[in-house]
Amino acid sequence: MSQPAPLMPHATASWLVDNTSLSFEQIAEFCGLHILEVQAMADDLASSKYTGRDPVRAGELTNEEIEKGQADPAYALQMQKAPVNVSRTKGPRYTPVSKRQDKPDGIAWILRNHPEISDAQIGKLIGTTRTTIGAIKERTHWNIQNIQPKDPVTLGLCSQRELDAVVAKAAKKAGLVDEMAGDTELGDDKQALIEELRAEREAAAKAASEAAQEAEAAAWLEAKREAEAGAVPDGDGQSGF
């Protein structure tokens, strides 16, 4: 079983590149990154500049462990203390800014496909207000013409497990569970559909990850070619400096 990655893998990798002589392979393996990402950091080609995070101070590595790695390029760094997952227990669900514009689409999908879910449950699941839900339900939302119902799981607004739990709870409260209990065929079809959707999402996520890695590799190689092309040799074979 592979060890967990540092709490901030990119920032940790940036610090290790700047402050140690560990190989790119060692840093990439420890941080759970692609080696080309580490190479790009070292060559200042990364699109985003990360502020280094000291893994020694964070307790994830020791100086002795770093020295072992520097002495042996084949040595795999061992995590000293796995990062603690921070979970929110109170307050509304936090949604990244890039996802907030998708909320109305997710709300519309739930309203259309699961009318048994209450506004309060939708608000907690998606991280929105009853005012917004009511505006979409009554079609008075300022952007109602552009709202398209989309699966909130696909949009990344919630997980399939969370959505299934809310649907089951709402169905039980509405008394729909007993009605559906006798229809085993419908239940089997629904489960098969859920499994199919999950498989499609996993395949799409895998394809996106592979495409991102290929794009990063292509960008790095292109930048390297441009850098090499800038050092054109003179006619006598010497560099023109």
Q: Are residues 112 and 158 in the same domain?
A: yes
Q: What is the pTM of this model?
A: 0.39
- Residue 213 pLDDT > 50, yes or no? yes
> Comparing 114-123, 149-158, 170-179, which segment has the lowest mean pLDDT?
170-179
Does 91 reside within a domain?
no
Containing structural domain, residue 121: 98-172
Please give the share of the chain, as a percent, with pLDDT higher than 90: 26
Please give the backbone phi and psi of residue 239, each rounded to the nearest 5 degrees, phi first.
-65, 145
Q: Are residues 162 and 191 in the same domain?
A: no
Mean pLDDT computed over 45-55:
71
- Residue 7 pLDDT > 50, yes or no? yes
The mean of the pLDDT values for the chain is 79
Tokens of 115: 């009318």
d(CA 149, CA 107): 7
Residue where the block lists tokens 């952007």 = 143
What is the count of structural domains for the chain? 3
- Residue 241 pLDDT > 50, yes or no? no
Per residue in 190-207, pLDDT (tens digit) is 677 777 777 777 877 777
d(CA 62, CA 56): 5
Per residue in 113-132, pLDDT (tens digit) is 999 999 999 989 988 889 99
